[in-house]
Structure 1
Amino acid sequence: MSLEVRSGGVCELCGSSEGLSAFEVAPSDASDEQSVYICSTCKSQIENPDTLDESHFNCLNDSMWSETPAVAVLSYRLLGALGRQDLVDMMYMEDDIKAWADAQSIGGGDDALVYKDANGVTLAAGDTVVITKDLDVKGTGFVAKRGTAVRNIGLVPNDAEHIEGRVNGVKIHILTKYLKKS
């Protein structure tokens, strides 16, 4: 089945019908199964990750559920680049598709940030950490107590010194130097 037929003649990410072309989801073997039919707006933003417009990519809320693996992989990578760990965490992919999604990132390179806790242990999205010092949480009126577990953390894009997580039901940013991986 050709990409145009599979997509119904619209961008498989945002649904636009303007400036459509095939986009290979690397690493790929250049087959239609590993390509996505996308519009010129989506393509230009993917190729220039510094220009990612989160409001344009609100469409990923729908495309992330695509049954087409290449569309799901590209949605996963874009959500990660936009720092939408909450949506990434909701996605389910078979192990081989997840490995493909993790094989590369949007704007990926060798300059990827490394998040480390107070002991120098590398942190990853989804980890559980423990707060090592009582922290006043600005704007909330409560203190995040030492010893509090923060589960399923998210990594703050472009800032390896902060993670995000929920404490007392409130999503907050926490300095990694006050955390210990558990």
Structure 2
Amino acid sequence: MNFEKQVISRSGNVCELSGATEDLQIYQVQPSEGNSADDFILISQNLKNQLEGSVEVSANDWRCLNDSMWSEVSAVKVVAYRMLDQLKGEGWPNDLLEMIYLDEAELTWAKAGMEDEDAIKHIDSNGVVLKAGDTVVLIKELDVKGSTITAKRGTAVRNIKLVHDDPTLIEGKVDGQSIYILTQFVKK
């Protein structure tokens, strides 16, 4: 069945995530049967390409989730939740993830389409999984390359960021300087 007219009518012919009015596409939020308009959203081509993985995800393109996560349309909230979870290494999505409300069915739908098993996990020296925004403590004195700074053992590094493509690295600030730190030298 074709639910395109219902989705366009529901959305007011604007992207249900970003509010864009040009280059719009119908997108089926998986895993869903596609049996009703509630399984689809109207989305800009740019965001659709990022969702489908045909182009690299640009975190700034998704700042629109700050508004769209409050949508009354379940499919929109599901996509918002998934993208906020995917981008949580950026830092800013963490607050939004804590605020977003999904009922039990929506949360189940959102998690069914997420790839947790293949996700990169950042693990500290004690085997604890690190998350963006955590505070860690250095367990070893570290010389900071390209600087005269030596990060002392016991130094707290607050509000860390995860390096998306390397599970052995985190980013944090020591003495006001942003540095990369190997996860084997920190503990939560």
Normalised by the length of structure 1, the TM-score is 0.73
Decide whether aligned partners of structure 1 residues 33 and 140 sit closer, same or farther in structure 2, where only a CA change above 3 A counts: farther
Decide whether aligned partners of structure 1 residues 140 and 75 sit closer, same or farther in structure 2, where only a CA change above 3 A counts: farther
Indicate the RMSD between aligned Cα atoms, in angstroms.
Answer: 3.3
| Partner of residue 151 from structure 1, selected from 139, 149, 158 | 158
Equivalent positions of 1:1-150 (< 5 A) are 2-14=6-18, 15-24=20-29, 26-28=30-32, 30=34, 32-33=37-38, 35-48=40-53, 51-54=55-58, 58-66=60-68, 67-68=70-71, 70-81=75-86, 85-91=90-96, 92-94=99-101, 96=103, 101=110, 104-105=113-114, 108=115, 110-139=117-146, 141-150=148-157
Q: Answer yes or no: is the 8 Å Cα contact 2:88–2:94 preserved in 1.
A: no
Aligned residues: 175
- Deviation, 1:112, is 1.9
Letter in 1 for 2:51: I
- Deviation, 1:101, is 4.8
Higher mean C-alpha displacement, 135-144 vs 122-131: 135-144
Find the aligned partners of 1:95 and 1:150 in 2 and give their Cα distance.
32
- Deviation, 1:42, is 2.4
Find the aligned partners of 2:186 and 2:122 in 1 and give their Cα distance.
11
Equivalent positions of 1:161-180 (< 5 A) are 161-180=168-187
Q: Answer yes or no: is the 8 Å Cα contact 2:169–2:183 preserved in 1.
A: yes
What is the SS of the residue equivalent to 1:152? Answer: coil
Q: Percent identity?
A: 40
Letter in 1 for 2:82: R
Letter in 2 for 1:22: Y
Normalised by the length of structure 2, the TM-score is 0.71
**Residues 19-45 of structure 1: per-residue CA shift (max 9 Å, x gap):** 421331x45575555542113332233
- Deviation, 1:86, is 1.9
Gaps of 5+ in 1: none
